Amino acid sequence: MSTLPDPSARAAQLRDQLRHHEHLYYALDAPEITDAAYDLLMRELKSLEADHPHLVTPDSPTQRVGGRPAEGFQKFPHSRPMLSLDNAYSADELRAWDTRVRDLTGDLPIRYVAELKLDGLSLALHYDIDATGHARLLRGITRGDGSTGEDVTSNVRTIKSIPLTIPAEKLAKAGLLKPQQSLFDPREAESPAGQAVEVRGEVVMPIASFQRLNLDREREGLAPAVNPRNAAAGTLRTLDPTIVARRHLDFYAYFLLQSGDYLAQGQQATLDALTALGFRVNSHRQTLSTVDELLAFIAQAESLRESLPYEIDGVVIKVDSHPTQLRLGYTGRAPRWAIAYKFTAQAALTQVQSITVQVGRTGKLTPVAELTPVFVGGTTVSRATLHNSDEIARLGLKLGSWVKIERGGDVIPKVVEVIIDAEHPEGHAPYTFPTTCPECLQPVHRAEGEVDFRCTNIDCPAKLRESILHFSRREVMNIEGLGEAIVAQLLDNHLIASVADLYTLTLDQLLTLERMGDKSATTLLAQIEASKQAGLARLLMGLGIRFVGERTAQLLAADFGAMEALAAATQPELERVEEVGPKVAAAVLEFFENVRNRALVARLADLGLKMTAEKRIRTDQLAGLTFVLTGTLPTLSRDQAKERIESAGGKVSGSVSKKTTYVVAGEEAGSKLTKAQELNIPILGEPALLALLNCSAED
């Protein structure tokens, strides 16, 4: 009888050993064997798989670097939006957020989970559970626009802190499988196959890897990468996975979803479950109850900043309880139950070489200080905004002035102070703000009561260029590939004169542009065509109406339901919309009163752009009534109840007073219910509210 091991059994044994040691090394920082011993195991497995190709499995440690994506990166929708977070920059702002959380949740006990805010890029990992109860990595998706990202699975597989397979035993330990599923027998009726597990987290480039990257770039005569975050983002979108593997990216997990929903036990339980699954989870985290405790954690985190092996730019704070998160809900773009506390901006001294002026899509002239390059806040800064002419005067800024600049997180660098002392002499020449547009040379104008000068020339090329770039942004019409260089060529070659002309571009026209191949041109045309279905809210953002950002565009779209109805609205009708005041209403009216703007909208409609949205039906049946919501309702979320009340003309308040008409109470109603009883305010349950609204929960 042969004493040689069965190749299949030995390959399986080697795979298990290598996964075990990868987890110890990359997730726990606790290796048990030397790098040389690990390499011996890997070489043996590679040799076995080379001799027996049928033994190669997709999740084998040897397969971390696969082939290139055949057609670049494909788009893939997220199971639920990957939202951004609201920010706090001071203790007062953090206390105000804490007060809002407690006001919205009544007297429920609140505990927070505080975690380091890693300065990287968000990633969603999708796993499918197979018939044996193991979870296999299916795909990795970038954040993208929050709704749709790019499938970068080929690169994700090279990140060794991301497990390619999660054993059934770990799934069971994390509470993601029932006991009988973790020991699944194919003969049993209840199979875990087809279940989806999703892990979200942050991809970072460790500082050591970043420094090695820049040394390599220096040897190759290339410009250094400016910071680890940008380097990580660029690396993850590289089409060659072997390059990604060489740059040693890392992944820290912080969210776990099953069937598209967060783990019911809460955030701390989620982090524990992710650890049990074998993911790297940041160890610098605490569960805390008060703002003072949070501020102490933030101070401790900031003191660690320089000694950590990766970059951080703040602390993320989340309400721990999942039911409380559901009660708090979301704003238009961020959860109410989480906030990012950004560290104090980092500062440096440098000298102003000159001042240039940029022209935005609304014609606004923004002065920009051109600086002697200086490293601050993780990046090299050579420009900083000066906001407007009044700010230049306030600072006493001159050409040649020495200035203090600040940069914090993603905040645009800004000049905060002019420095004049023995080492930093006063600037040599005053700066005069231009009286004509630097792009079209037409006179600029500053309206009474405003601080900004604007170019009023409707045909200003700068306004057109910036309008098209704004229109194509990811969060607006999402036309990827329409960057500054392409837009400049389209304008220089007179191929477009408005955003509507984007929809008449042909393949032959695009192929005349520099560095535009057949595949790139075809992809861009497909992106432009897909943007036709972006919807009314995004289109309103894209049109560049003053003061109409993402939230206002969504509210206008929901209230009017169609571009035609919005264009015909009066000032009072516009001001009826939530969060729309006289200033915004006047801007909308001004836009649609312009003949050229109306012609542009009509042309976009003729070209097939979607001009409608699901309309929120409004009535006046609850006009003059004020409601306060407390507790958990049987079928309606707090946001749904608020929406129904406001759509019927009622007002929803966060606190109970003598002016409150009704308090709507559900399970675990807190102090608001008690106060309503003390003031003899009528209490409604959900059925009574629905009856008052003359509707049912199924409507």
Tell me phi and psi for residue 663, to 5 degrees: -110, 125
CA 131 to chain centre: 35
Residue 651 identity: K
- Going from the C-alpha of 115 to that of each of 252, 295, 359, 480, 655, the distances in angstroms are 11, 12, 40, 33, 31
Residue 603 identity: R
CB 675 within 8 A of CB 656: yes
Structure tokens belonging to residue 230: 């940008």
CB 510 within 8 A of CB 524: yes
Taking the alpha carbons at both ends of the chain, their separation in whole angstroms is 74
* Closest to 473 in 3D by CA, of 404, 384, 542: 542
* Closest to 534 in 3D by CA, of 502, 577, 581: 502
H-helix segments, 247-350:
267-277, 291-304, 322-328
CA distance 258 to 128: 10
Structure tokens belonging to residue 332: 């238009």
CA distance 635 to 298: 38
Tell me phi and psi for residue 577, to 5 degrees: -70, 135
Catalytic residue selected from 75, 117, 173, 583? 117
DSSP type of residue 421: S
Angle at 147 between CA 597 and CA 139, to 5 degrees: 145
With H, G, I as helix, E, B as strand and everything else as coil, classify residue 673.
helix
117 is catalytic: yes
Residue 695 identity: C
Task: Give helix 35-51 / helix 7-22 axis angle, nearest 10°.
Answer: 150
CA distance 239 to 67: 9
CA distance 393 to 31: 59
Question: Catalytic positions, please?
Answer: 117
